[in-house]
Structure 1
Amino acid sequence: RTLAGQGHQVFVEVTPHPVLMGAMNDTLEEVALDSASMPAAVCGTLRRDDGGAQRLLTSLAEAFVSGVAVDWTSVLPSTDPVRLPTYAFQHERYWPRAAAPALGGDAVSLGLGAVGHPLLGAAVELAGGAGLVCTGRLSVRTHPWLADHVVGGAVLLPGTGFVEMVVRAGDQVGCGLLEELTLQAPLVLPADGSGVQVQVVLADVDEDGRRTVEVFSRPDAADAQQGWVQHASGVVAPAEGTAVAEEDFAVWPPRDATVVDVTGIYEAGAGASYGYGPAFQGLRAVWRRGEDLFAEVALPEDVAADAG
């Protein structure tokens, strides 16, 4: 009580194990209540079964956060202090504010439907029942993983990319089954990162509920005379009632299937001008049963974290 009355605020019990800290805390709390002063800090040094240097440093840190001036050079190298970041909510912005987007900068304000797909961004239903057009823009800058699909030295949209776009466009009109797709010309993506405009055109529904589909593209900088290049054509149909051979996946690997050796498949492909980068090296295992092929495919870890 006397020491606290003289203004001492920190009390350290130097013992192998704290014995007096409880009583000291009780006494100092009473003094603080009587004098309306701040409660003092009480620290120890060592503890029973915990009497090493680590415990002493921990106690020293407890005293430090209570306001005791500690000479850390005895235990830390004499280097420049670490500069901690400023408080998270006490910051100023120095970046210029982005201008408000111009009216019509999004699909809805342009009278289009938002598709929300990585390869297709908008869709418009043509008036008079003439069909549906889905549009998108592709480039190795906006879709960097496409740069991992190189054939003959050129970056090509893979065949599965056409399948994905056609199936997504078919979903827009309730035709989620791809019955037929013929690729007619490769879609080359410029290596400089410039974009390619893409259109997936669905015709009006026929009497069987099917629709023909075509895929076109042209460069961003194309003039009116260059026109569109057709890359694929096919047929989509309603997916209701489609039979799925679920028994093939009840047991894995599939029954009565023979393992296909895929060792060195990407090295062999490189020798045939197929330069598949990490994003396209996901084949893990293959089995064959008659005319059917079964495969395990997984994104490599170094690209999986960036996949949507």
Structure 2
Amino acid sequence: MFKIDFNIPESSTKINLKDSIFLIGSCFSNEIGKTLTENKLQSLSNPFGTIYNPYSIFNLLSNSAEANDVIESQSVFYHWDAHGEISGLSESETISVFEKRNKESQAFLKNCNWLIITLGTAIVYENQAGHIVANCHKVPAGNFKKRYLNQEEIISQYSSLHSYLNDINPDLKIVFTVSPVRHIRDGLVENNRSKAILIDAIHTITSQYKNTSYFPSYEIVVDELRDYRFFKTDRVHPTEEATEYVWNQFVQTYFDSETQDFLQEWNKLKAAIHHRPFQPESKSHQAFLKSTLEKLKKLNEKVDLSVEVAKVSQQLT
């Protein structure tokens, strides 16, 4: 073995195939959210775009962000509490986009079963109004004050968020994780200090609130895999192989047996659906399609596979 054995205790509360999952945070949330969607689980991932710091994430989740907190930069209007994808060519257009995403987010949050929060950094930037921003939107660095959030700030703000979430969705289960993506533009020492603040704050939170838990995606990539071959050429972002490894660990930790069985069967069927034969009208391939269609229809009783059923049906002669 060329890696450290890392045994992650199974969660006592499990994700079911029918559960819906809200994901918010760093770009690692996008990767896991995409995988959830590909595997037919109900999810909403980063409706405000990629957000890195806990202050902005908690602010958005608690419905505390002001819709009109907009800035113009290089002839485009952005929202201080969101990623650059929340933008427009006028202030009103950006506000409209933000309000729409916020409405969708709050509606989903009130009815979902799980919330996965991926924190990226404890380093934040305050604009000239003293507001911590989610993104600097290409505004000159001199317009911001850069600092670290401290653990007390993070824990205190989460306490307020927890009260809000408990009011709107008392049965919500919350999973914290820290992104393995390193913020090297801030410096390696600074990045490690930042991650340490996040990890320590999360462990305090999860020890105080019974419906919260921590999934060690950061430790899996940085300590268990621990090799640059698991990073892309920028040496910062995990490769698809690393992301898939983390995903499989997450499945084993949080998914119930029914959902794990479904994923195994669905992965086989995905490969069958994408199979491209040399002779699509041959008897052997037509028999293969009929077998695949039967399996899809059976799984369709558990999740919506109507698109896949129609796709395979169209190939039958």
Pick the structure with more strand per residue. Answer: 1
Give the TM-score normalised by structure 2: 0.19
Give the TM-score normalised by structure 1: 0.20
Greater Rg by CA:
1
Higher relative contact order (CA 8 A, sep 6+): 2
